[in-house]
Amino acid sequence: MKKIWNIQEIKTLFKKPFLELIFEAQKIHRKHFNPSEIQISTLLSIKTGLCPEDCKYCAQSSRYKTNIKVEKLLKIDEIIEKAKQAKQSGSDRFCMGAAWKHPKERDMPYLIKIIQEVKKLGLETCMTLGSLNDSQAQQLYDAGLDFYNHNLDTSPKVYKKIITTRTYQDRLNTLNIIQKTGIKICSGGILGLGEKTHDRAELLMQLANLKKIPDSIPINMLVNIKGTPMENNKKINTFDFIKTIAVARIMMPQSYIRLSAGRENMSKNMQTMCFIAGVNSIFYGCKLLTTNNPKQKDDLQLFQQLGLYPKKKIIYNKNLKNINTLNTKMINNTSKYYNAIMN
């Protein structure tokens, strides 16, 4: 029977001593996942800028003067080439985002074709296109879409302060529409919007109490983008960020928790603590829609230092020597990790 969380239970988790909380999260993580394995996704913006929404953190909103380059819908051939590169670099899921409030009916054949072509490459597919109606969601499902990303961002209270063009209930309704088709949900939030611990607890409660818990939960750290109303927001405390990861892992033990936007601004030590707290997925590549991401060679070096390996074997040796040997060694050692559950 699915557990229904209440806010007091979640606040109690947040109040736990840091080391005790991290240890509990790591034990739960090891019960459900191989702690050495990382799921890797690549994210591509297929339509950039001029979004009618007013999300105060976003560079793509037409309301703010940012330095992004506005781009119309990419040609399908361009997208497929990017997907091939993503697979070659080790990603097993290709995510595509369009800066829309919602797709129009005239866009559906284009989206369907993209899904079908990317699937032919042997990659999982994910899209984030804004709100969907029942017909659109069904069409994407029929085309073979595996995941749909639609973040809740934060608590209902804070949400009202950062977005006025779409209600919190609108987002919940879209998630419900998507889940009814059978498409897997990717939904998470952004930390550093000015929220308090109570708001982080409420965000996790909303996600955990959905009819079906999201299969994938991206946790973003706010990137302060010049020209947006949040360009001067105070950076979230490192320990508060990691604690939120740990609580998410405890509450949603079978979901993949993805370290998403803001990773370029995280030290290797911070990323390492996030992996210990329960992160087992990242976005790979130099850019996430419009924000920078760590270089691939830096991620590979971190994986080597931590003994992590991707779900799919990486074929890449331009900037990091002996990477194929490295992957072979890590894959051969997958059964040699310490099992905290048995101790």
Binding residue positions: 51, 55, 58, 95, 126, 186, 258
Candidate list 58, 171, 249, 263, residue with the active-site label: 58
Assess whether 186 carries a catalytic annotation.
yes
Candidate list 93, 95, 249, 274, residue with the active-site label: 95
Assess whether 274 carries a catalytic annotation.
no
The kind and range of the H/E element at 218 are strand 216-221
Distant-in-sequence, close-in-space partners of 281: CB < 8 Å, separation ≥ 6: 38, 39, 40, 41, 216, 256, 257, 258, 259
Helix spans in 90-155 (H)? 108-120, 134-143
Assess whether 286 carries a catalytic annotation.
no
Distant-in-sequence, close-in-space partners of 228: CB < 8 Å, separation ≥ 6: 56, 57, 58, 59, 61, 64, 66
Candidate list 93, 126, 166, 200, residue with the active-site label: 126
Report the binding-site residues for [4Fe-4S] cluster: 51, 55, 58
Return d(Cα 231, Cα 65) in angstroms, integer.
Answer: 12
Candidate list 186, 200, 263, 274, residue with the active-site label: 186
Cβ atoms of 175 and 131 closer than 8 Å: no
Q: What does each C-alpha distance from 270 to 208, 242, 245, 263, 298 come to in angstroms?
A: 25, 8, 12, 9, 14
Report the binding-site residues for [2Fe-2S] cluster: 95, 126, 186, 258
Assess whether 95 carries a catalytic annotation.
yes
Nearest to 219 by CA among 156, 278, 170: 278
Candidate list 51, 93, 166, 274, residue with the active-site label: 51
Candidate list 55, 166, 200, 249, residue with the active-site label: 55
Work out the burial of residue 170: count CB atoms within 10 Å of its CB; fewer than 13 is exposed, 13-18 middle, 19 or more buried.
middle
Write out the two tokens for 153. Answer: 């961002």
Return d(Cα 158, Cα 169) in angstroms, integer.
Answer: 14
Candidate list 93, 166, 200, 258, residue with the active-site label: 258
Assess whether 126 carries a catalytic annotation.
yes
Q: Residues 212, 254, 102, CA angle at the centre, nearest 5°?
A: 45
Return d(Cα 63, Cα 228) in angstroms, integer.
Answer: 9
Return d(Cα 307, Cα 288) in angstroms, integer.
Answer: 25
Q: Which residues are catalytic?
A: 51, 55, 58, 95, 126, 186, 258
